[in-house]
Amino acid sequence: MASRDLSQARHSRDDAPAPSLFGHYELDAQFFDETFESAGQPRSHYRLLIDEMERMSQEEVTRLQERVTRSFLHEGITFTVYGDEESTERVIPIDCVPRLVLAREWEHIERGLIQRVQALNLFLADVYGKGHILGDGTIPRALVQGCPNYRPEMEGVQVPLGAYVSVCGSDIVRTADGFMVLEDNLRVPSGVSYMLACREAIRRSFPRVFRHYHVRSVDHYGQELLRVLRSLSPRQGEEPSIALLTPGVYNSAYYEHAFLAREMGVELVTGDDLLVRGTRLYMRTVQGLRPVDVLYRRLDDDFIDPHAFRPDSCLGVPGLFAVYRAGNLALANAPGTGVADDKAVYSYVPRMIRYYLDQEPILANVETFLCREPEGLAYTLAHLEDLVVKAVGESGGYGMLMGPHASREERGAFAARLRERPENYISQPVLALSRAPCLIDGRLEARHVDLRPFVLHGQETRIVPGGLCRVALRKGSLVVNSSQGGGSKDAWIIEEDAP
Amino acid sequence: MILARVANALYWMNRYLERVEHTARLLGLQLEHLPSSPVQEVANGWRRLFSSLDARPPGADIHGGPEDADDFFFADGYTLTDYLTFETTNPTSIVFCLTAARENARQVRDAISNGIWSSLNRAYLRLRDTNLVDIWSREPVMLYRDIVETVQLFDGVCASSMRRDAGWHFMRIGRCIERAQLVGSLLEAHWANVRDMAEEDSDWAGLLRDCNAFEAYRQLHGAQIGKEKVLGFLVYDAELSYSLRFAVNQVRSSLEAIDPPVRGRLPAEPHEIVGRLDSALSRHMVNLTVGGGGWYDLADLVILCRNFHEALERTYIYYPTEAQIPS
């Protein structure tokens, strides 16, 4: 079928020479381009993919894109946007051109992330345990314990395997200087279902090239996650009862929660399904109550237990934290991990790696200025137009200032906020994120991308080879968050000597 | 083992789908016969349809009370069709029920396969993108055939992909208890309608068609259509999938699969109620003639169906948890 389509495409091109898909593709010396070395000169590993795409007519490529989007709609891979009167479901924008990552690049990222997640777990065990790193001043105690996501309730709690962070989604960006970690998501990172759904849709779209590239598989993510969750069970030697706790269908990541529960074959539960009796957690089945041993919770710390954390939460389970403290329940991730992905604490991660592992960091951090420190604040205020300023407690691209793109007034207003609560902010240079081709209005244009691999940590630390490649679909935008007009791409980890 | 919330959502998903299919089938038939039927029959058809849904036509409040037999002469076919199909504020409309079925499916997205979900989701998206103005002048009947087929496709996907576990049985209970209730109400409404009419004006064939039973009836009884035979067929036939007896039988066998009765112990409440329904139907204890001497009226059966629903919720979904802790 593919060959017939291709021949038709060639045929139609003979009649009237259509503009090449890449005809408008612009390179910009400021930005590393994932696909092209120079104008018209694809990087060698991209050649096969580009040949394949150039054999297609513009209509074919557009149709392919439509098919992918439609299949997302039918499968319900959507997020909900709440308007004034009614909510609408939107498809996660997915771009059909895969991003290719060479095996050697991937292995570098992989080693770097494994190192990082191990250090972060040791850090968490330390700050909620003996606190060596705070005691000797390597990291300021006030910074850590003053962080809004520090949970004193976790002090002295025994965490199975010391795995505070079992699931981590770190954002990797690439500039001309190489790969860097932009941030770690250690609380309830999301996006892995989009990685898997993108893979399924794009593999269907480019079956031939996919095979030729020997793309490494990500399909076993559900099994790997299940293995980690089982390893955390407080009742080793017995078949653990595992559930995934979701805030419910109105949560924007509900699709992912249902998807992962199905992939793993575990129950998807809401707070209403669970209750604490005595010292154990139970779920309500049609045949009465059944105990739960491991909870993969996709609910922020604040909401998991109104007795222990926010009293007004109706999403969680009263008494859950007491069951956890008593060692009768494992939680993934553990409460309190947010202290380690705080935007200010982030700047200390390279020091954590040296401190706990006695190794040099494999992946670099982005240079970060802490506004809580006088020099950091002074530097930030003096260079506002060149910096990104981020609020430490926020995520998802909220509460930030993109210096170069902001107006004088916006910068002025932000500076006032900075002076008022400097400890709430950090700043970083604007990164020249690499770009990759995306299908925009029927032709390929360069857009900024990042990569979020998903690290799993239990008895060992593993990463399925791939990640969610996020794209800033708005022209010139550097913000890839889906709440801010971002989309996603499939990322293929391919062998060096592939065709 | 199945979560109580999941069982409840699967049950409701199927109740709503049964309603979708019922309304679509009856509407399709009504529209098909609209051009060629006498006015009285058309009005009877609307009345039967609305009564089976326990609903009233739009504007009924303006024109008179619930007993006003002329409601249907004030509303035209377009308005009634639109109201029963696309009116999102009408809890008996197809779009309302399909949306509710899909919302329930979304609640249990992890418990149903991709194929089950997408057969439902596609139907929802299609209906959402349709409106009556566009199809009214062409062939509106096709829309209803399409909806009925969608529900049948959904059933087929479920039947071929699901294990016969508790989830499956809760789905079947939802489907069949809703069917029993709808068919019971439909028969009751038709009976009330035609009670004083001559038998040849009473459109018993239409009633058979409404219950998907016309072909089956003809195979069994031949082309001669008589009141008692039709009612007996739709109430007592043990092999007809739209008969009351068949539906109740399915409910009973699914309930016993979920929670097998224990010899020597008092039956649970849902078992007790479905047992009463079942014996009323298998022993032909229902009044199907004026002044008949049976133990139950059709209305009593419909009430028993409602009681069954409440007992099911009390026993398996919203049960008290205090006494439930396993030792």
- pLDDT(A13) > 60: no
> How does strand A330-332 pair with strand A364-365?
unpaired
Beta bridge partners of A491: A99
Predicted confidence pLDDT, tens digits, chain B (327 residues): 899 999 999 999 999 999 999 999 999 999 998 888 888 788 888 888 998 898 888 866 555 544 555 556 556 889 999 999 999 999 999 999 999 999 999 999 989 998 999 999 999 999 998 989 888 888 889 999 999 999 999 999 999 999 999 999 999 999 999 999 999 999 999 988 888 888 777 889 999 999 999 999 999 999 888 888 999 999 999 999 999 999 999 999 999 999 999 999 889 999 999 999 999 999 999 988 766 667 899 999 999 999 999 999 999 999 988 755 554
Mean pLDDT of the region A332-358 = 96
For A16, the token pair is 């009237």
The highest-confidence range among A12-16, A248-252, B152-156, by mean pLDDT, is B152-156
SS3 B66: coil
Q: Are A376 and A143 in contact (CB under 8 A)?
A: no
SS3 B71: helix
Q: What is the pLDDT of residues A29-73, one digit of tens each?
A: 999 999 999 988 999 999 999 999 999 988 899 999 999 998 888
Q: Are B66 and B60 in contact (CB under 8 A)?
A: yes
CA-nearest of B168, B58, B157, B52 to B114 is B157
Distance from CA of B164 to the nearest CA of A (A): 16
Q: Are A272 and A243 in contact (CB under 8 A)?
A: no
Give me the pLDDT at residue A498, please: 52
Q: Between A and B, how many CB-CB pairs are < 8 A?
A: 79
> How does strand A369-370 pair with strand A242-245?
unpaired
The chain B residue lying nearest A273, using CA atoms, is: B5
Q: What is the pLDDT of residues A109-145, one digit of tens each?
A: 999 999 999 999 999 999 999 999 999 999 999 999 9
Give me the pLDDT at residue A85, please: 54
Q: Is the Cβ of B121 closer than 8 Å to some Cβ of chain A?
A: yes
Rounded Cα distance between A75 and A94, Å, is: 14
Give me the pLDDT at residue B191, please: 87
Length of chain A: 499
Beta bridge partners of A95: A489
CB contact under 8 A, B324 and A288: yes
Q: Which residues of A touch B (CB under 8 A)?
A: 73-76, 244, 249, 254-255, 257-259, 261-262, 267-270, 272-273, 275, 277-278, 282-291
> How does strand A294-297 pair with strand A364-365?
unpaired
For B19, the token pair is 């309603």
Please state, in angstroms and as integers, the Cα–Cα distance from residue B176 to each residue in A373, B22, B249, B256, B314, following that order.
69, 12, 9, 14, 19
SS3 B286: strand
Q: Is the Cβ of B313 closer than 8 Å to some Cβ of chain A?
A: no
User: Which of B109, B258, B326 lies at the smallest CB-CB distance from A288?
Assistant: B326
- Biggest CA pair distance of chain A: 78
Give me the pLDDT at residue B124, please: 93
Q: Are A396 and A483 in contact (CB under 8 A)?
A: yes
Give me the pLDDT at residue A201, please: 94
Give me the pLDDT at residue A11, please: 44
Distance from CA of B95 to the nearest CA of A (A): 16
CB atoms within 10 A of CB B217: 24
Residue to mutate among B2, B5, B161, with most A CBs inside 10 A, is B5
> How does strand A294-297 pair with strand A242-245?
parallel
Give me the pLDDT at residue A478, please: 84
CA-nearest of B242, B235, B255 to B309 is B255
CB contact under 8 A, A75 and B117: yes
The owner of tokens 């035609």 is B194
The highest-confidence range among A5-14, A87-96, A243-252, A361-370, by mean pLDDT, is A361-370
Please enumerate in sequence order all residues whose Cβ is within 8 A of that of B271, keeping only pairs 6 or more positions apart, or say none.
B255, B256, B259, B261
The chain B residue lying nearest A244, using CA atoms, is: B110
Give me the pLDDT at residue A1, please: 37
Rounded Cα distance between B116 and A83, Å, is: 29
Please enumerate in sequence order all residues whose Cβ is within 8 A of that of A222, keeping only pairs 6 or more positions apart, or say none.
A260, A263, A264
* DSSP symbol at B266: P
Rounded Cα distance between A274 and A280, Å, is: 10
Amino acid, single-letter form, for residue B213: A
Q: Is the Cβ of B128 closer than 8 Å to some Cβ of chain A?
A: no
pTM: 0.89
Please state, in angstroms and as integers, the Cα–Cα distance from residue A176 to each residue in A29, A31, A34, A179, B126, following that order.
10, 7, 10, 9, 48
CB atoms within 10 A of CB B45: 26
Instruction: List for chain B the helix, strand, coil content (%; round to 5).
Output: 70, 0, 30
- pLDDT(A87) > 50: yes
Q: Give the alpha-carbon dihedral of B121, B125, B131, B137, to 10 degrees.
A: -80
CB contact under 8 A, B2 and A284: no
Rounded Cα distance between B143 and B132, Å, is: 10
Distance from CA of A160 to the nearest CA of B (A): 25
Q: What is the pLDDT of residues A462-494, one digit of tens each?
A: 999 999 999 999 888 888 877 677 899 999 999
Give me the pLDDT at residue A8, please: 42
CA-nearest of B299, B306, B253 to B275 is B253
Rounded Cα distance between B3 and A267, Å, is: 8
CB atoms within 10 A of CB B219: 8
Residue B303 is inside which H or E element, if any?
A: helix B298-312
Mean pLDDT of the region A415-441 = 92
Give me the pLDDT at residue A226, please: 98
CB contact under 8 A, B316 and A249: no
> Cα A148 vs. chain centroid, distance in angstroms?
21
The owner of tokens 């210096």 is A403
SS3 B296: strand
Q: Are B205 and B225 in contact (CB under 8 A)?
A: yes
Rounded Cα distance between B309 and B174, Å, is: 9
The chain B residue lying nearest A282, using CA atoms, is: B325
* DSSP symbol at B223: S
CB atoms within 10 A of CB A299: 23
SS3 B3: strand
Number of H-type helices and E-type strands within chain B: 16, 0
Please enumerate in sequence order all residues whose Cβ is within 8 A of that of B68, keeping only pairs 6 or more positions apart, or say none.
B60
Phi, psi of A258 (to 5 degrees): -65, -40
> How does strand A330-332 pair with strand A294-297?
parallel
Rounded Cα distance between B280 and B276, Å, is: 6
- Classify the phi-psi angles of A236: left when phi > 0, otherwise alpha if psi is within -120 to 50, otherwise beta: beta
CB atoms within 10 A of CB A44: 11
Q: Is the Cβ of B166 closer than 8 Å to some Cβ of chain A?
A: yes
User: Which of B103, B107, B316 lies at the smallest CB-CB distance from A286?
Assistant: B316
Please state, in angstroms and as integers, the Cα–Cα distance from residue A57 to each residue in A25, B5, B62, following that order.
16, 50, 60
* DSSP symbol at B319: -
Question: What SS3 string covers chain A?
Answer: CHHHHHHHHHHHHHHCCCCCCCCCCCCCCCCCECCEEECCEECHHHHHHHHHHHCCCHHHHHHHHHHHHHHHHHHCCEEEEECCCCEEEEECCEEEEEEEEEHHHHHHHHHHHHHHHHHHHHHHHHHCCCCHHHHCCCCCHHHHHCCCCCCHHHCCCCCHHHCCCCEEEEEEEEECCEEEEEEEECCCCCCHHHHHHHHHHHHHHCHHHHHHHCCCCCCCHHHHHHHHHHHCCCCCCCCCCEEEECCCCCCCCHHHHHHHHHHHCCEEECHHHEEEECCEEEEEECCEEEECCEEEECCCHHHHCCCCCCCCCCCCCCCHHHHHHCCCCEEECCCCHHHHCCCCHHHHHHHHHHHHHCCCCCCEECCCEECCCHHHHHHHHHCHHHEEEEECCCCCCCCEEEHHHCCHHHHHHHHHHHHHCHHHEEEEECCCCCEEEEEECCEEEEEEEEEECEEEECCCEEECCCCEEEEECCCCCCCCCHHHCEEEEEEEEECCCCC
Rounded Cα distance between A434 and A32, Å, is: 5
For A293, the token pair is 């041993």
Give me the pLDDT at residue A419, please: 93
The chain B residue lying nearest A281, using CA atoms, is: B325
CB contact under 8 A, A258 and B3: no
Give chain B positions within 8 Å (CB) of A257: 110
Q: Is the Cβ of B325 closer than 8 Å to some Cβ of chain A?
A: yes
Mean pLDDT of chain A: 90
Q: What is the pLDDT of residues A193-213, one digit of tens each?
A: 999 999 999 999 999 999 999
Q: Is the Cβ of B1 closer than 8 Å to some Cβ of chain A?
A: yes
